[in-house]
Amino acid sequence: GAGVSQSPRYKVAKRGQDVALRCDPISGHVSLFWYQQALGQGPEFLTYFQNEAQLDKSGLPSDRFFAERPEGSVSTLKIQRTQQEDSAVYLCASSLSRTSGSRDFGELFFGEGSRLTVL
Amino acid sequence: AQSVAQPEDQVNVAEGNPLTVKCTYSVSGNPYLFWYVQYPNRGLQFLLKYITGDNLVKGSYGFEAEFNKSQTSFHLKKPSALVSDSALYFCAVSAGYSSASKIIFGSGTRLSIRP
């Protein structure tokens, strides 16, 4: 399909391992967001890209979290030395809009998420 | 800083009755407000948004929301609930004053429609 694709869907890691989560946005979508959703909670903002530029990374919980989008399309969220509190669903969303003034601002298309369990 | 609150963890409504899911927000400047829905084992889906203009916004599946600036609220409503409306609903806000405005989500309200 033409939706946002995330992989892997499920990842089990031992504490201390590094993990990489991939997001394939909808083709042509300029904006890309990463969110963390703990069980029973709302999505918590992690970081935001506009093309390849990371415009806001204020939500990344520690320097163990790193995100990149080198060619302005596929994005990877990397978590180093995973801890149990990192267990959550990581959501990726993309949007066609570039700025808050555009007609379709805020209309995010979400992937189904990558569920990370750290043992 | 921007924030959004959904005071009800769960809302229970009988099918055919009107429903309201509450949302209040805090943001500097003019808010951009959104509602998203999450069905079981599905990704979040956009329902509707308020950017400017008419305070009553209509969206997908017969839902609407009313922006109230004085009460800083953006409650989601539907005149007649369906069992298929049962899902998790999230309100979201953006400050909207720059091209880099992030979108912040509330904690969610589980809507349960009984037949």
User: What DSSP string describes B8-37?
Assistant: -SEEEEETTS-EEE--EEE-SSS-EEEEEE
B58: helix, strand or coil:
strand
Residue whose C-alpha is closest to residue A42's, from B45, B88, B13, B49: B88
* Three-class DSSP category at B56: strand
Taking contacts as CB-CB distances below 8 angstroms, the residues of chain B near A108 are 36, 44, 46, 103
B contacts of A111 (beta carbons < 8 Å): 43
A46-55 average pLDDT score: 92
Cα three-residue angle B109-A108-B63, rounded to 5 degrees = 50
The answer to whether the beta carbons of residues B59 and B78 sit under 8 Å apart is no
Of the candidates A103, A100, A91, the one whose C-alpha atom is nearest the C-alpha of residue B93 is A100
Q: What is the distance of C-alpha A28 from the center of its chain? A: 17
pLDDT at residue B43 in the model: 86
Give the span between the Cα atoms of A63 and B29, in whole angstroms. 31
Query: Which residues are A88's β-sheet partners?
Result: A116
For chain A, the maximum distance between any two Cα atoms, rounded to a whole number of angstroms, is: 44
* Residue-averaged pLDDT of chain A: 92
pLDDT tens digits, one per residue of B71-114: 999 999 999 999 999 999 999 998 765 555 688 999 999 999 99
Q: Which of residues 3-62 of A touch B (CB under 8 A)?
A: 3-4, 33, 35, 40-45, 48, 50, 55-56, 58-59
Kindly indicate the confidence band of residue A104, based on its pLDDT and cuts at 50, 70 and 90: low
Q: Which residues pair with A65 in a beta bridge?
A: A79
Indicate the residue of B45, B94, B100 with minimum beta-carbon distance to A55: B100
Contact residues for B54 (Cβ-Cβ < 8 A; gap 6+): none
Which residues of chain B are within 8 Å of residue A93 when distances are taken between CB atoms? Answer: 44
Residue in B37, B99, B109, B110 to test binding to A, most A beta-carbons within 10 Å: B99
Q: How far is CA A22 from the centre of its chain?
A: 8
Q: What is the largest CA-CA distance in chain B?
A: 45
**Lowest-confidence range among A94-98, A101-105, B13-17?**
A101-105
Residue A10 — very low, low, confident or very high, per pLDDT cuts 50/70/90? very high
Report the residue of A46, A108, A109, A114 to disrupt the B interface, i.e. the one with the largest count of B CBs within 10 Å.
Answer: A108
Distance CA B50, CA B72 (A): 13
pLDDT at position B98 is: 56
